Homo-oligomer: A and B are copies of this chain.
Amino acid sequence: MKARTADRAPDAARPAARYGRPDGWRGALYDLIFLSDSAAGRRFDIALVGAILLSILVVVLDSVPMVRARHTDLMHMLEWGFTLLFTAEYVARLVCVRQPLRYATSFFGIVDLLSVLPTYVSLLVPGSEALLDIRILRLLRVFRIFKLTLYIEEYTRLGEALAASRRKIMVFLSVVLMAVLILGTVMYVVEGPARGFTSIPTAMYWAVVTMTTVGYGDITPQTTLGKAIASFMMLLGWGILAVPTGIVTAEMSARRNDRRRGPARLPRNCSACGSGGHEGRARFCRDCGAELPAVMGKH
């Protein structure tokens, strides 16, 4: 049991293991880049996280008009510096795995490529009319942050809890979408284009804004009937939206209890008196005092 956990844990920490570790200097590079067991590997990871965060900061600051106006050249330089750095890292990753294609087509291989491409594309496609496109591509740079998820083990548990209630959340979402469609259409008919509900999609956008209790106020019901329906929707929305909270909470409570009670669940019946449900650590039957069978071949 212990052994299996030990085997699996590092695997989860370094999913790149499946790309294959070569021998020689490439193997050493592999250990540095893909693994974080050695001190050097850990330093590399921390430096990489720092570089990713800094490069995101540059992209974000570059979007602020005042900063862009004052530090155009600095921003440009930093942008290219990070791009070249990440390109070098991408090439190194390709070089030091046995199956480069498998890495290149994996999720993080694609993210790694997309996080450097936009800057190069902005070179090939100059001209004012292309600016907007480049901007769209640049936003992909932000996906660099996804790499961060690799380094923190805790995410997995949160993700599992959400994944376990995935089907329930899908059903819930479809109910919400139905309600949004029907109530949006009703409001489109009741309020009409003159009062901001210009089309059913717009009315549906308003319905989502209302039922999720965001309530921007850019579109609001004006007629008495519209206000009455909107009031009903808000109360309904609250009722409906209590559901995902219920789903997630029930899931988390159950998981918490399982972890606590977990070992006790193994079928350990007393061979003398037949009583069951003994604690995992019990060695003698609580009802007759006879020795219990060992758990999973321990001893």
Interface residues of A (CB under 8 A from B): 56, 59-60, 63-65, 135-136, 138-139, 142-143, 145-146, 148-149, 152, 154-155, 158, 161-162, 167-169, 171-176, 178, 181-182, 185-186, 188-189, 193, 198-202, 204-205, 208-210, 212-218, 220, 224, 227-228, 230-231, 234-235, 237-239, 241-254, 256-257, 260, 269, 274-292, 294-295, 298-299
Contact = CB atoms under 8 A, between A and B. Distances in A.
A154 B139 CA distance: 38
Contacts of A135: 189
Given A200-B64, A212-B238, A242-B249, A283 B286 contact: yes
A158 B178 contact: no
18 contacts: A63-B199, A64-B199, A142-B182, A143-B182, A148-B174, A148-B178, A161-B246, A205-B230, A215-B215, A242-B244, A254-B256, A254-B260, A269-B298, A276-B295, A277-B281, A282-B287, A284-B287, A286-B292
- Stoichiometry, as copies per complex, reads 4
A158 B186 contact: no
A238 B241 contact: yes
